[in-house]
Structure 1
Amino acid sequence: MMRLNPIVVSLTSFLVLGGCSSTLVEPSHYSGFLPNYSVLEEQESASGAKVARWIDPSLNLGRYSSVYIEPSQFYPRPQPSQQISQATLDDITQYYDTALRRELGAVVKISDTAAADSLVLRPAITAVSTSTEGLKPYEVIPIALVVAATTTAVGARDQEVQIATEAMFLDGGNSKLLAEVVRKGTGTSLENKETALTVKDIKPVIDGWAKDLRLAYEQLKNKP
């Protein structure tokens, strides 16, 4: 069960596009990627997003000279569809990697391999879904690439695009778990069920995630 704790504000700052949609992922939709969901706590990120996370109270970023970012992945492996193609899935993970390296690279050295003095970031995309706007939101089921019914008595409706992420932070020397985060965001609406999703539809979400992570890193690094 999630608890409120101010320390959580920093690190999970990292995954959101605003709007009125919730940025919290329901526990029933967790993917199984993280090793321990029971320690997650609800808090507000630096950008004002509701997130769930945990940070080891003993974490000292001063002992790490670099960050190694593992290639992002989908977890579990999704099946592409007509609306969400394999090419789009590949573009999403590649852009996620680019955004993380761009933002974190502005405040800390990015290393090519994990070392004893490096912090390891292991990110995953755990859901990508589309749902009909104006109708009851379709559940963001981990790894299910789903499309809700897109027509009603009055015709076609726009579709809302949601994407979720889970990530863990590890000690590069001993693989000790240092932090976990779960978060989701809402991208650009698609015109209808025939409109294919592209990475540009969710770039603002991913950019927001990466920027918040940079801000969180800076906050933790400067913590007295």
Structure 2
Amino acid sequence: MARDLYRQAPVSAATVALIVLIFTVTAVQSRSLTDNLSGSGLGDAWILYLPLMDGSPLGPLRALGSSLLHLGVGHMLVNTVLLYLIGRETERTFGSPLTAGVLVTGALGASAAVLWLGPANPTVGASGAVYALMAVFVAVAHARRDAQVGGALALIGVNLAYTLMSPGVSLWGHVGGLGAGVLISVVLFGVRGSAARWVGLAALCAAAAAAVLVRVSMYSTGGHGTVFL
């Protein structure tokens, strides 16, 4: 079964496996499945939190590392299931390498939005990348004139409603990932040819990374409490 899942969507499956592995490490370090980031050295090193990002040259890498961290089993399962199911459709349409680019750009876009618009709380989770995938999935369904477009829009609506109603969930992380996904969709469907798509996606990824670096260089003190994506 694992081989079949990997063959269908290697990038999505490998990302899920990496997230599960990292969750296992944090759970072992903290000796907890529900409070796995407390007492975890890996969690301390990767949580997205602005005041901790300018202490070393590697600090900005939290913008990516935090997308692989999750707070509790339920948080991890929801994100990994959505990531695989939606990522599989993206891989079928655009191939695995471009899907990897979508995931990285979505994660960076979400982190940039958090750092600029809601940096007060430490933040973790892959939902930024998942929301980017959702936006691309809507664009794919629309381009195919597929009946799934309604379901895809409903999925985004339900998740945004949950975000607004639930305390401790990062609104800006979700909105940032969704916004990145919209821009990615414009690139993927607005240009022709693999090379042009790669140039456009690389430009978006570079812009998101630059937004993170600029914000880190300008940082001011944040707040407290862990937010999950």
Q: How does the TM-score come out when normalised to structure 2?
A: 0.32
Q: How does the TM-score come out when normalised to structure 1?
A: 0.32
Structure ranking higher in strand proportion:
1
